[in-house]
């Protein structure tokens, strides 16, 4: 009886150890969600910006600046064929984007468009993916349960974006 109880206790302990060491699911690049609507906290150089980001298709993305206060209400929109900037009810459209390459919106738009292509990303540990665009390495980290982006870093451009507050409906 004592041997049976010890055996049962050992089996229960093994089951407990196995259940406590559950492996977090690993994502593949194809699991990443590149179409989304969320909030992003972005650092580009010494500039910090908080904005909403809506990416509805490759080449189609909209930014609405929330902070800093002096830029709140500024909007950038890539429609695939053209670019527009909005502010205080005014809109300027162009066939090409006149923003400098160091602008946070340009970096994020170009990197996401490139990263969303097939066979571009290399999987790393902890649901991290690496790629290289325009001579700059970048790293994307995603939520293992949803595939939603958590952050994007481009060290050579001193750029970081942290994504949060996802809206489940994409406009």
At residue 25, the pLDDT reads 63
pLDDT at 147 over 60: yes
At residue 26, the pLDDT reads 83
At residue 168, the pLDDT reads 80
**Furthest C-alpha separation in the chain:** 84
* Average pLDDT of the residues of the chain: 88
Instruction: Look at 162 and 19; give whichever has higher pLDDT.
Output: 162
Query: Minimal CA–CA distance to 117: which of 45, 40, 32?
Result: 32
pLDDT at 166 over 50: yes
Q: What is the mean pLDDT of residues 30-42?
A: 96
Q: What is the mean pLDDT of residues 59-73?
A: 96
At residue 15, the pLDDT reads 47
pLDDT at 81 over 60: yes
Per residue in 75-107, is it b (16+ CB within 10 Å) or e — as a string? bbbbeeeebebbeeeeeeeeeebebeeebbbbb
pLDDT at 140 over 70: yes
């Amino acid at each position: 009886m004592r041997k049976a109880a010890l055996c049962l206790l050992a089996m229960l302990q093994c089951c407990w150890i196995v259940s406590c060491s559950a492996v977090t699911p690993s994502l593949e690049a194809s699991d990443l969600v590149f179409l989304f609507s969320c909030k992003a906290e972005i650092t580009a150089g010494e500039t910090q910006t908080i904005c909403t980001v809506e990416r509805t298709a490759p080449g189609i993305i909209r930014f609405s600046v929330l902070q800093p206060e002096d830029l709140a209400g500024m909007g950038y929109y890539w429609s695939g064929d053209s670019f527009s900037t909005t502010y205080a009810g005014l809109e300027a459209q162009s066939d090409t984007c006149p923003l400098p390459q160091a602008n946070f919106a340009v970096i994020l738009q170009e990197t996401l468009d490139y990263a969303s292509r097939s066979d571009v990303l290399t999987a790393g540990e902890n649901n991290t993916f690496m790629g290289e665009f325009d001579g700059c390495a970048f790293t994307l980290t995603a939520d293992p349960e949803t595939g939603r982006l958590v952050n994007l870093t481009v060290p050579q451009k001193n750029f970081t974006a942290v994504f949060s507050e996802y809206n489940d409906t994409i406009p």
